[in-house]
Amino acid sequence: DAGVTQSPTHLIKTRGQQVTLRCSPKSGHDTVSWYQQALGQGPQFIFQYYEEEERQRGNFPDRFSGHQFPNYSSELNVNALLLGDSALYLCASNPRGLAGHEQFFGPGTRLTVL
Amino acid sequence: AQSVTQLGSHVSVSEGALVLLRCNYSSSVPPYLFWYVQYPNQGLQLLLKYTSAATLVKGINGFEAEFKKSETSFHLTKPSAHMSDAAEYFCAVSGAGGTSYGKLTFGQGTILTVHP
């Protein structure tokens, strides 16, 4: 049973560019959340998708957008990249009805903005 | 609103010694509480979770945590540290309802070092 997978593993971009990160949830999971983890910090919630709609959003600007597909996989898009967007981006999934909201995390995508 | 405070960004113990990592939370709704571990260049792995059942929660790798509502704490312990426990540990909270439903709020993390 594959866990949460993310691609790519690493990515280098320059300021002003746009980036798309991809996530496939764990089998049987229909809810996907994205987190940003800056160096030396705890993960920060970006947003959560369920039934192909954004259900919750953290304190991130509109440059951060997402999408969920019918097969529950998800994309995170970041426009007009800033140096401060350099971070590990984590995708997490869970079944909607799972008590306690335990989320299963992927290995992350390391984004470096130069 | 919810928040998590982890006291001590670095904790160092000797192999075989007690591990104690501190976590205090704030939540406007009944909380769900979690401890995750992160090894270098990896994602997060769940150690244990509290979901309003037993207040003493046992997790993987010999870790356990006790939910104390009066102290708004959820400290993580392990009786005897092993070299393989060296990693970064994150405490997280989510709410059973409202705007915190399904959204994990993490602490800043505690790096655990284990000396031989």
**How many of the other CB atoms lie within 10 Å of CB of B67?**
20
Rounded CA-CA distance B2/B90 in Å is 15
Tell me whether strands B64-68 and B73-78 are parallel, antiparallel or unpaired: antiparallel
The pLDDT score that the predictor gives to residue A67 is 97
Do A105 and B45 count as a contact with CB atoms less than 8 A apart?
A: yes
Cβ atoms of A18 and A78 within 8 Å: the answer is: yes
Nearest CB to B107; choose among A4, A42, A100: A42
Q: Which residues from B are below 8 Å from A42, CB to CB? A: 4, 90, 92, 106-109
Average pLDDT (B20-30) is 88
Asked if the model's pLDDT at residue B98 lies above 70, the reply is no
Do B102 and A101 count as a contact with CB atoms less than 8 A apart?
A: yes
Average pLDDT (A88-109) is 85
Q: How many helices (H) and strands (E) does chain A have?
A: 0, 11
Asked if the model's pLDDT at residue B21 lies above 70, the reply is yes
Asked if the model's pLDDT at residue B62 lies above 80, the reply is yes
